[in-house]
Amino acid sequence: PTDTVWGIGCDATNAAAVSRVYEIKRRIDSKAMLVLLDGAGKLQGYMQQVPETAWMLLEATEGQRPLTIIYPNARNLAPNLLAEDGSVGIRITQEPFTKALCEQLHRPIVSTSANFSGEPAAKIFSDICPELLEAVDYVCEFRRDDTTSHQPSAIVKIDEKERITIIRS
């Protein structure tokens, strides 16, 4: 479970693990996946410079719908996780399970919807295809009975000149 839809995750710094997620999802690796961090203070470890615009967006949206920001010039992440232009989408998670997972690993985690590429995202656990559940290494027990339907995050992209593009509102 995440603060949005159900997801598949792995250590975002491990290229082999990232490749396995692409394989499980039947997704081409040129389509980037996003990363979850447990706190905004950790952003600086994963990009050359955090745009000032990002800090303002994070502050303005705190406590609202989850926001994924696509940042330029990512670093210290698995290379196959990054988009062709070197950017990466990062969301600061407030959801207890994923926040604790990031804290315990001391690393960011990949978060991509628990579905095969091109199929609808799993809003609740029972939406996840049994074949996908069989393909992963571990399925967490937490929140399986939760029937609250969660929505994907809003997504914005910030370029090197700090211009904002809304990808999903």
Q: What is the pLDDT of residues 116-168, one digit of tens each?
A: 988 998 889 999 999 999 999 999 988 888 888 778 899 999 999 999 999 99
Per-residue pLDDT for 109 more than 80?
yes
Per-residue pLDDT for 32 more than 80?
no
Q: How sure is the predictor about 77, in pLDDT bands with cuts at 50, 70 and 90? A: very high
Q: How sure is the predictor about 30, in pLDDT bands with cuts at 50, 70 and 90? A: low
Q: Tell me phi and psi for residue 89, to 5 degrees.
A: -90, 130
Alpha-carbon Rg of the chain, whole angstroms?
Answer: 15
Interacting residues of 88 by C-beta distance below 8 A, sequence separation 6+: 32, 34, 35, 46, 47, 70, 71, 74, 77, 81, 82
Contact 29, 119 (CB under 8 A): no
User: Chain-wide mean pLDDT for the chain?
Assistant: 92
- Residue 31's pLDDT is 73
Distances (CA, A) of 70 to 21, 105, 113, 167: 20, 23, 17, 9
Strand partners, 89: 34, 70
What is the number of residues in the chain?
169
Place of tokens 């470890």: 45
DSSP 11: B
The 10 Å Cβ neighbour count of residue 41 is 9
pTM: 0.92
Burial tier of 160 (Cβ tally within 10 Å: 0-12, 13-18, 19+): middle
